[in-house]
Structure 1
Amino acid sequence: MVSLYILTKEKLFWKKLALLVFVMNVIPPTSGDYRLLNLFIPLAFFINEPKSSKFDLAYLILFGLLLIPKNYFIIPAMTDIGLSIGVIINPLLMLIFGFLIIKEGLSKTTRDIPKQSLDRSVRE
Structure 2
Amino acid sequence: MTHKIFSMSFGRIYPMYVAKAEKKGRTKEEVDEIILWMTGYDEEGLQEVLREEKTVERFFQEAPKLHPNRTLIKGVICGVRVEEIEDPLMREVRYLDKLIDELAKGKAMEKILREA
Q: TM-score, normalised by structure 2?
A: 0.34
Q: TM-score, normalised by structure 1?
A: 0.32
Structure with greater helix share of residues: 1
Asked which structure has the greater RCO (Cα within 8 Å, sep 6+), the reply is 2
